[in-house]
Amino acid sequence: MAAVGLRTLLTGGRRINPLKVSTIPACSVSCNFIFSTNTSQRWYAKEAHSRERMHVNIGTIGHVDHGKTTLTAAITKYLSEKGGAKFYSYDQIDKAPEEKARGITINATSVGYETDHRHFSHVDCPGHEDYIKNMIIGTSSMDAAILVVAATDGTMPQTREHLLLAKQIGVQNLVVYINKADAADEEMIELVEMEIREVLDKYGFNGDETPIVIGSALCALEDKEPKIGSESIEKLVEALDNVPCPDRDLSSPPVFPIDTVHSIAGRGTVITGCLKQGTLKKGDALEISGFGKSMKTTVTSMEMFHKILDRVEAGDQAGLLIKNLKREDLRRGMVAVKSGTFKPTRGIVATIFMLSKKEVTGRAVPLVSGKDVSILFKTWSVNTRCPADDESEDGAAKMVMPGEQGSMKMVLRVPMMIMKGDRFTIRMGKSTVGTGMVTDVYDVAVADDLFVKKKAKRA
Ligand SMILES: Nc1nc2c(ncn2[C@@H]2O[C@H](COP(=O)(O)OP(=O)(O)OP(=O)(O)O)[C@@H](O)[C@H]2O)c(=O)[nH]1
Ligand SMILES: [Mg+2]
C-alpha cells in the first residue's frame, strides 16, 4: 500500500505542483491513499522515521453499510484529539464522485495514525459485493482486521465472505466492532455478539478470545452519547494496541509486491507497497517482474508516512524512489526482489478448496482440469489453465468438487512472481467459488511444455 507522504520523499525539499503528481491505478481494481497536500511543512520535512513504535497494518472489513468508513473517520477524530492523527472526515475517505453519489465505498483507502504504543496504517475496505476485488487488495497486507458488524443487522453475507477471504489471505487476528449500538436494544446486541462468536469459530478465528467492542461510530464522530461514542473508540484503540502481530521475517531476501506506481515531476518514479519479507536499503539492486516483463533498477530513497527511512523492514508500508524506470513500465501486481534471488514462473501446483453452496454466497461449481479460470492473487489476477494432471499418462481430467479439497497443476497465461505459500482466490462472475494455496512452482520451460502439449492435443 502507499506510503502516505510520498511527495515529501520525492520533492527533495522543493515545492512541486500537486497536480503534477500522478498515480496510475494499475488494474481495474483500486486503492486510494490519502496524501498530505496542504501542510506545506511536510513538503520540506526530512525527519527520519522512528522505530520506537511498532508499525502495524490494519483495516476495516465487513458487510456493506455496517459503518466501516464512519468508524475509520471516528478513529482518526479520536486520535487527532490526542495528537496521534490527522482527522479524516467521512467525505475525505470516500471522496470519489461515484462513492459520494452512491454513499458506498468503492476504493480501499489508506490512512495513518499513531497511538502511544503503535504506528498504524489503516485501510478502509469496501463492503459491497461488486467490489470484493478491492477488498482483497485492501486486506492483502493487513496484520489484523477490524470486523465491523451493525447491531441492527448482525452478520450478513459479506461479513462471512470477508471473514473467509481474510482468513485465506492470512489475516490471523481480528477485533470486532459491533456498530450502531444507538439504534439497537441491549437484547439484540447480546444476540448479535453471540452470533458473531459462533461465525468467527466457523471461519477459523477464535470466537471466545477475539475482543468485541460495542459502540456507535456515528455518535463518536458527532460527539454524542460518549458511553457508546468516544469511549467505545477508546476501547477499540486499546484492543488494537494489544492485538498480536506476526513476527516480521527480516532475514529472508526482500520481496516487495507493488501496489501503486507514481510519477513525480522532476524526481522520477516511485513504487509503493508493503515489504513482505527481508529489508531494503538505498543502493540495493532490484529486479521487478510480472505480466511477462522483467526489469532492473536501483533504490535511490525510501519513505514511510512523511518520514525518511534508512532501511525498509518487512511489514513497512513504504514508497521507494527507483532509477531508470518510467511509470508506464510498471503496474500493480509486479514484484520487486533483490536481483538474482527469485524468478517469475508460469507453472504452479496448488492445493485448491472449492466452496460448497452453504459456505458463503458463492455458486457451488467444481474446478475441472482442462478448463481456463481466472485466479486472483492479493493484488493481481491472471487467466490460468488447469491442465489435466498426469495428462501424459492417462489424459484423465481431474476435478475438485464443491466442498472438497484437491491438488491441481495450473499454468498462468504470463509469468508472474509467485512463491510457495502464496494464496489466491478463484472467482467466477461476482462470486468467490474457491480458494487456493501454492504448494510448488515449476520452471517456465516446463510450464511452456505443458501449454504446448495441450495445444497439440487440441489440434
Ligand atoms: N445509527 C447509526 N448509523 C450509523 C452508524 N455508523 C454509521 N452509520 C450510518 O450507516 C451508513 C453507512 O455507513 P458507512 O460508514 O458508509 O458504511 P460502510 O460500512 O463504510 O459502507 P461500505 O463501505 O459502502 O460497505 C451511513 O448512513 C452512516 O451514517 C452508527 O453508529 N449508528
Ligand atoms: Mg465504506
What is the DSSP code string of 110-141? EEEEE-SSEEEEEEE---SGGGHHHHHHHHTT
Find the ligand nearest to 131 CA: 1
SS (H, E, C) 37-92: CCCHHHHHCCCECCCCCEEEEEEEECCCCCCHHHHHHHHHHHHHHCCCECCCCHHH
Contact between 281 and 311 (Cβ < 8 Å): yes
Give residue 445's pLDDT.
Answer: 59
Ligand 1 atom closest to Cα of residue 183 = 1
Question: Quick check: is 389 catalytic?
Answer: no
Pick from 65, 77, 228 the residue to mutate for probing ligand 1's pocket: most ligand atoms within 8 Å of its CB: 65
What's the chain's length in residues? 459
Report the alpha-carbon angle 15-18-19, nearest 5. Answer: 135
Residue 128 among the catalytic residues: yes
216 lines ligand 1 (CB under 6 A): yes
Q: What tens-digit pLDDT sequence spans the chain (459 residues)?
A: 344 344 444 333 333 333 333 333 333 334 454 433 222 223 233 677 777 788 899 999 999 999 999 999 999 999 999 988 889 999 999 988 888 888 999 988 888 899 989 989 999 999 998 888 788 878 878 999 999 999 999 999 999 999 988 988 889 899 999 999 999 999 999 999 999 999 999 999 999 999 999 999 999 999 999 999 999 999 999 999 999 987 899 999 999 999 889 988 778 899 999 999 999 999 999 999 999 899 999 999 998 877 788 999 999 988 999 999 999 999 999 999 999 899 898 888 888 888 877 665 556 788 887 777 888 887 888 888 876 554 444 443 467 888 888 888 888 888 899 988 888 888 777 777 888 889 888 875 555 555 555 556 655
- pLDDT of the residue at 449: 56
| Residue 69 is a catalytic residue | yes
Catalytic residue chosen out of the listed positions 86, 95, 128, 235: 128
Give pLDDT, residue 43.
26
Q: What is the pLDDT of residue 26?
A: 31
Q: What is the pLDDT of residue 74?
A: 98
| 147 Cβ closer than 6 Å to some ligand 1 atom | no
CA of 122 from ligand 2 middle (Å) equals: 13
Q: pTM here?
A: 0.79
CA angle, 230 then 108 then 359, to 5°: 95
